[in-house]
Structure 1
Amino acid sequence: MKQKLLSLYVQIILDKRFITLRRSLIEFRRKLTFKKRVVSVFLQLDDPYSYLLSYYLEHVITRYKKVEFRFYLCQSLSGDYTPQPGMLADYALADCAALANEFGVPFLDVGTTPAVEYRRALLDFLGEEHDEKDFSETFIKALSAYWRGDPEGVARIVGRAQAELSETNVLLGQNQLLLRKMGHYNCATMHYAGEWYWGVDRLHYLIERFDQQGLNRYKEPTPELASLQQAMQSKMPVTKPVKAASLPPLEMYYSFRSPYAYLALERTYEIADAFGLKLEVKPVLPMVMRGLKVPKPKLLYIVNDANREAERLEVPFGKVADSLGNGAERCIAAFYYAKSEGSEREFLLAAGQAIFAEAIDVATDEGMEIVADRSGLFWPDLKEALEKEEWRAWAQANREALTEAGLWGVPSFLIGDVAIWGQDRDWLLARKIEDMCHDGEGIIV
């Protein structure tokens, strides 16, 4: 009963009519109380995603003068919210370097490392400037100098050296508490009228809301944002590049509980097909079943974010039956069997749609039989395969391989030396594969 009620609750909050009604009520209340439109921006000095976001926010602020942007010097929540902090820091640096290169954003172009020796002094300086009217401009300049690896630039911003200020720690704690009270856990985030947006990847959703309200003072797209969206367009080769035949298989690490993995599934198959690559899907148990906790606020953000991504990708989504526990284990066991029958693609797509678009409980025989029928699998044989345990060693080996690659979340993609995490990096994955072919055949258009 609890599972069904949770599924119903998720279905309601993800319904487009509910979202539209909630937005209308929030806007009505804002007008009734004569309040400004406010975007709360939480940025972290030593977070490269915060820097990339700030680079584009500078242009957004200029265009949308009717919106007040309040910047907060903050730090992401730790503990259960950041299960692998060391791995995340390493991956974030590599990911942002790749993104900056694709976007044409200066990143570690003055020095090879961020100006870490000035980190504390810069934090104290920003803490003192936090309540000034031009704090957003100051913060953006500080992030730029820090992440371009420009110690001289940072020194000019900071001025004379001084002892550490205890007030800075208090401010960071207060802003972190505000971040948590408002319902999020991560920096490089923006909150507007009840909804959250993370990084440059979700900035376009916020801009779309502004444009729908007629807030763009120039009544035309912002060039920098238009080029950002153009850079993140996923494009496929017209013909299969000859050199792609010599590439290793494309590996996709997948969890049957992850909505992001489900959203990436069909697109990943399309990429593999376009390049003529073999796609090897390697399932792992959900993070919670691997000893990595996922707090409820994080889950709530993920499901809401996945919902708008599903709409953008035109993937069925919204009626969700959580497969945590027995459901996830049965799916891996069933997939292990489906591979032996040559029906892995059909099973993955059928299981994903059942779990995330139809709220079918795959922990039950009734639910799994529906998936089997849609996959072209003989239910009695699949039911027998569910009792076997061979899949456990396979799933564990997949987990170890994922960790060895410096990753822990799904969906993750490996091909050769390229390791990419996230369903919204499909465009980057396709571009990296094209670079590996690099002979000009099958040009992406």
Structure 2
Amino acid sequence: MLLRLKIKWLHSQLRAKVLIFRYFLIGQFLGKKAQAEVYLSLNDPHSFMLVQMLSRLAKNYRLDFKVLFIWGTLPGVTICPKLYRQWAIKDANLIAEQYQLVNISAEPSSASLTTGQQTWQLLVNNIKNAEQIFINTWGNHYREHFQTSTPTINHQVKNQTRLKEKGHYAPASISFAGSWFVGIDRLYHFESMLQKFALLDDVTEDFTAKNQLNNIVTPRNYPHKVVNIKAAKTPTVATEPLVIYLSLRSPYSYLGFVQAVNLAERQQIELIIRPILPLLMRGESIPMVKQKYIYLDAVREAKKLGIEFNGFTDPLGDGVINAYRLFAWAQQQGKAVEYILACFQAIYVDGIDLANPENVETIFKKLALDVDDASIYQEQHDWQQWADINQVELTKLNLWGVPCFSYGGYSYWGQDRIFELEKEINIFRTAG
């Protein structure tokens, strides 16, 4: 009950109005110019991309930026730091290609990082100077180097504390009017808010073009539209399947899954579903501040994509187990897509608790699937075994969380990278 009340509050218009009043309207009333805080880590690839884009766009905004350099993500937040680092550099270069930014050819040396951090203390605090520091640091352009100094360390510790106290955890983030926007992928939402407050004439064409919807429809319509993609009658040119690794507890998995189904239907290719256990059921921990941001971010992404998202009925534990126990039979019967979609809809749309096995059985029966047959099949196809196998496969892709997608020899993490998947599919078709 307490969780549902918290979710309801996070969704509420009252909360949004309170934050805007506190962090924006009071300042406007007192005659202060609007200000956004930008938290950057000099060692963070996505911070490098964000500062370049903000430098390019800042002239369009009628507000000031306060740039705060921090050490990085708060301790205990990043899962599999080594794999995350490899992914972050790869993903940053995808962004660089998409927006014609300076890409990453090599990581900055320790001497360059120290010098960049020291140099920042000598410059005027603005986006343009921050961009130059990043370019010099990541390009290892410094010929003379500074040593680490206590004032610089104290400065970043202070900023790191400020980030935490304001309720966030990661670099490459913008704080404005009580909301957070992480990375270039969320500049669309940032610009939309600026437009709402008359601080921007229009959302930048760059982001309007790159955030066009591809006929995404609400999941409620899917049960009437989804076909058995594997048995689709339309001839397929591409022979490679689209594989999605997902978790029922992940809001981004829900958004990524709806888009993947839509993509597979458009391209007439097979969609293979690989469920894995949520991080919290694998012994990992996710700080509450991160869970809160993920949820709020998923809500606004769902709205942008036209995907229905009314709340969250946590399936952690029994809910996930109950759903996974029946999945193998649904898959064997060619109804994996419909089944997972129905489970997601129960969690994020209809407020149905999957921890109650009767609710999962009801979903099953509505798909004309037999629960007894599924139980017998489960004895020979144990959900724990195939979930572990799926996790091993994901690790072999050098990825760890969800949603993840693979097509041919390419793999991507995050529902934001659906457009990259479609590019690969189109290239494959052209080559074929």
**Could you tell me the TM-score, scaled by structure 2's length?**
0.88
1:89 aligns with 2:85: yes
CA positional deviation for 1:230: 2.1
Contact 1:333 1:385 in 2 (8 A): no
Contact 2:238 2:428 in 1 (8 A): no
Aligned to 2:221: none
Q: How many aligned residue pairs are there?
A: 414
Query: 2:199 & 2:164 partners in 1: Cα distance?
Result: 29
CA positional deviation for 1:47: 1.1
CA positional deviation for 1:349: 0.8
CA positional deviation for 1:197: 0.3
What 5-or-longer segments of structure 1 have no aligned partner? none
Query: 1:408 & 1:33 partners in 2: Cα distance?
Result: 47
Query: 1:405 & 1:260 partners in 2: Cα distance?
Result: 19
Query: 2:390 & 2:127 partners in 1: Cα distance?
Result: 44
1:418 aligns with 2:418: no
RMSD between aligned alpha carbons? 2.5
CA positional deviation for 1:188: 0.2
1:118-156 CA distances to partner (integer Å, 9 max, x unpaired)? 122112222x23xx5444322111112334x3x33x44x
Q: Which moved more, 1:138-147 or 1:254-263?
A: 138-147
Could you say what secondary structure the match of 2:353 adopts? coil
Structure 1: which amino acid aligns with 2:167?
G
Give the direction of change, closer, same or farther, for the CA distance of 1:400–1:367 in structure 2 (3 Å limit). same
Give the direction of change, closer, same or farther, for the CA distance of 1:334–1:367 in structure 2 (3 Å limit). same
Aligned to 1:19: 16
Aligned to 1:396: 388
Contact 2:112 2:145 in 1 (8 A): no
Q: Which moved more, 1:82-91 or 1:135-144?
A: 135-144
Aligned to 2:66: 70
What 5-or-longer segments of structure 2 have no aligned partner? 216-231
Contact 2:116 2:136 in 1 (8 A): no
1:171-229 CA distances to partner (integer Å, 9 max, x unpaired)? 2211111111111111000011111000010011111111112122xx355xxx42244
Query: 1:372 & 1:133 partners in 2: Cα distance?
Result: 62
Structure 2: which amino acid aligns with 1:75?
W
Structure 1: which amino acid aligns with 2:91?
D
1:230 aligns with 2:223: no
Q: Which moved more, 1:360-369 or 1:38-47?
A: 360-369
Give the direction of change, closer, same or farther, for the CA distance of 1:213–1:383 in structure 2 (3 Å limit). same
Aligned to 2:133: 142
Query: 1:353 & 1:226 partners in 2: Cα distance?
Result: 33
1:270-306 CA distances to partner (integer Å, 9 max, x unpaired)? 2122222211110000011112211100000001001
| Poorly superposed stretches of 4+, deviation over 4 Å | 232-236, 379-389
1:113 aligns with 2:106: yes
Structure 2: which amino acid aligns with 1:70?
K
Aligned to 2:227: none
Aligned to 2:265: 273
Query: 1:249 & 1:220 partners in 2: Cα distance?
Result: 39
Query: 1:166 & 1:187 partners in 2: Cα distance?
Result: 21
CA positional deviation for 1:318: 2.6
Structure 2: which amino acid aligns with 1:252?
I
Alignment of 1:347-362 (within 5 A): 347-362=339-354
Aligned to 2:253: 261
Alignment of 1:229-248 (within 5 A): 229-231=208-210, 233=212, 245-248=237-240
Query: 1:353 & 1:341 partners in 2: Cα distance?
Result: 20
Aligned to 2:229: none
Query: 1:325 & 1:418 partners in 2: Cα distance?
Result: 32
Give the direction of change, closer, same or farther, for the CA distance of 1:316–1:263 in structure 2 (3 Å limit). same
Give the direction of change, closer, same or farther, for the CA distance of 1:75–1:373 in structure 2 (3 Å limit). farther
Query: 1:243 & 1:45 partners in 2: Cα distance?
Result: 49
Give the direction of change, closer, same or farther, for the CA distance of 1:133–1:120 in structure 2 (3 Å limit). closer
CA positional deviation for 1:231: 3.8
Aligned to 1:312: 304
Query: 1:403 & 1:143 partners in 2: Cα distance?
Result: 31
Give the direction of change, closer, same or farther, for the CA distance of 1:370–1:24 in structure 2 (3 Å limit). farther
Contact 1:233 1:427 in 2 (8 A): no
**Could you tell me the TM-score, scaled by structure 1's length?**
0.86
Query: 2:238 & 2:87 partners in 1: Cα distance?
Result: 27
Give the direction of change, closer, same or farther, for the CA distance of 1:28–1:215 in structure 2 (3 Å limit). closer
1:211 aligns with 2:205: no
Query: 2:247 & 2:395 partners in 1: Cα distance?
Result: 15
CA positional deviation for 1:388: 7.7
Query: 2:25 & 2:180 partners in 1: Cα distance?
Result: 19
Q: Which has the higher contact order (CA 8 A, sep 6+)?
A: 1
**Percent of pairs identical after alignment?**
26
Query: 1:348 & 1:34 partners in 2: Cα distance?
Result: 52
Query: 2:379 & 2:32 partners in 1: Cα distance?
Result: 60
Query: 1:124 & 1:391 partners in 2: Cα distance?
Result: 53
Could you say what secondary structure the match of 1:317 adopts? coil
Query: 1:63 & 1:299 partners in 2: Cα distance?
Result: 32
